[in-house]
Structure 1
Amino acid sequence: MAESQSNAPLRAPAGAPTSGVIHVRTRLAADFTVIANALVQRRGSAVTVGVAAYILSLPDGAPVRIDALCEHFTEGEILISRALRELEADGYLERRRERGLGGVLRTRTFFYDVPRGEEPEPPVPPSPPRPRRSGPSPRKPEGTALCRGQAHAKRITAALEAVHSEADLRSKLTALGYPESIVEVYKTGGSLGFTFSVPEAGPCITGMLTSPVKVEAHGHHMEGGCMEPKGGH
């Protein structure tokens, strides 16, 4: 009976190191992503590097909300949210607040293959054409919901007067009973902002850490949610 043959190399190629990893490389012509070594060799959390690599592999327009990333990864919201914050702090991820049709606020997410500051700013997407008639604004809370929202906004405003960093902002909101998992923090015009829906079917709360602090209560957008219409990424 003939001896079985193996396609695996019997020995390392000439000139290969005597220890450590030996790469077996395949030249790819499609379905690959170019990632800088500075990112994939980033010290710290493997989750952060993995999330960054995944986002870079996605086409423009793909959703990268926390819930969308949790559908792909086995890690939960806390680790995914932490990874996004680390990437934002390192300059790889940027979230911009823009006002779209009908005055509806939405978030545009930009992801850089190298940190911001090392390359020119990306071009700002052109503004959509203005319709003849403005679309509906976010619904305003009424009655009990309005009173509840105004009460939340008032207590949050008082608590955030001396807050200037994202860490302090999240800490204060958590202490007030608004868990980190429901709060979306963003930066626009050099100021930190945040938005979330009050637990138990309450109104939306949106605020900016300006001087003075501005916090307001409003209804959900017609597409659903406090921050961004569906498909806004």
Structure 2
Amino acid sequence: MAEQQLNAHPRARSVVSRSAGGVTQISDYQPRRYTIIGDHLTQHRDLSLTAIGLGAHIQSLPDGAAVDIRTLAGKFTEGRERIAAALRELEDHGYIRRIRERTPEGRIVTRTLSYNVPRTDSDRHTAEPVAEPIAEQPAPPAPEPVVRPPAAATPPPPPPSSNATPAPRPPNHRRAPPPPPAPEPTAPAPERHRTAAALLAELRRDDARLLLAERNVRRLAPGVAAWLERGAAPDAVRRTLATALPPDLRHPAALLAHRLTALLPPPLPAAEPRSRPVPLQNCDGCDRAFRASHPGLCRDCRMTSPVHGPAAA
């Protein structure tokens, strides 16, 4: 029997596939700096490629790394809108969860929980990390009581006199001013109102979170009609309402009402009346056209006329 050669070189790997096409996996051993990612993420049918790549990138980061929209947009070529949409996809499918917390200094920060296995709404409360309890340390020995001599009795304060000045009262907190009223058109225009209602109903095509109830469409339609009355194009109104939405949008109708009121454009200035050009007249002498306020003779005929110029030869 031939002796087994333990120091023989390993067999070379073939990189040529037998099939006509497709992918051939060439895997090398990586002793460090690698991340185990499940196929449920890399082959997800309902996630976009941007969301899949962003989910893999987030799972490869260490704890405490910044994954906000501004930081990710500075690292990759995708803009903030595509990164924000990808984060929403990952959050909707249970791969991440964003929690807003208040620091001891009073700042509001967002903590992102990344799951290598997607979580559902029923089991997310069991997957959140719980802070470890602080180990109890033995209490230091209590100091010996210090015996102090009794203090002299303090006489009670005298009763307040009627001429004493009363203590100033703390200032009353004024209520916040009411929000400005929603814009409304100055003149009724049924056709413009129908255009405004259709524009609000179609906002969900730009972003699914802008799905409005019918009562909200009726409430916001006068504000959109006011924009249209001031000369704003419907496409410009749609871009103003549906662009740069916050990632944690919960009340779309309130956001649209705020934008319609705060970003209301001024009315267009009145167009200056144009002066009418001098009309054309037909010359009574040569029948040529010339500009004049009244019919008569052209300049050449006036020059040769006996009345206005030298007599014809």
Q: TM-score, normalised by structure 1?
A: 0.52
- Correspondence 1:64 to 2:127: no
Q: Which has the higher contact order (CA 8 A, sep 6+)?
A: 1
Cα deviation digits, residues 54-110 of structure 1 (max 9, x gap): 111111111111111111111111111110000000001101122332544332111
Structure 1 residues 90 and 18, CA gap change in structure 2 (3 angstroms): same
- Asked whether the equivalents of residues 84 and 247 of structure 2 are also in contact (C-alpha less than 8 Å), the reply is no
Q: SS of 2:78's equivalent?
A: coil
Q: Which residue of 1 aligns with 2:272?
A: none
- Match among 193, 197, 209 for residue 167 of structure 1: 209
Q: Which residue of 2 aligns with 1:207?
A: none
Amino acid at match of 1:168: L
Q: Which residue of 2 aligns with 1:92?
A: 95
* CA RMSD of superposed structures (Å): 4.2
How far, CA to CA, are the matches of 1:107 and 1:26 in structure 2?
38
Q: Which residue of 1 aligns with 2:19?
A: 18
Q: Which runs of 5+ in 1 are unaligned?
A: 1-8, 129-145, 156-165, 187-191, 203-233
How far, CA to CA, are the matches of 1:170 and 1:63 in structure 2?
34
How far, CA to CA, are the matches of 2:62 and 2:33 in structure 1?
11
- Match among 235, 248, 266 for residue 185 of structure 1: 248
Q: How does 1:1-233 map to 2 (within 5 A)?
A: 11-12=14-15, 17-19=18-20, 20-43=22-45, 44-117=47-120, 120-125=126-131, 151=179, 167-168=209-210, 180-181=243-244, 183-185=246-248, 192=250
- Asked whether the equivalents of residues 35 and 60 of structure 2 are also in contact (C-alpha less than 8 Å), the reply is yes
How far, CA to CA, are the matches of 2:240 and 2:133 in structure 1?
37
How many corresponding residue pairs?
A: 154
**Quick check: which has more Rg, 1 or 2?**
2
Cα deviation digits, residues 122-156 of structure 1 (max 9, x gap): 3234699xxxxxxxxxxxxxxxxx75xx637x97x
How far, CA to CA, are the matches of 2:93 and 2:81 in structure 1?
18
% identical equivalent positions: 32
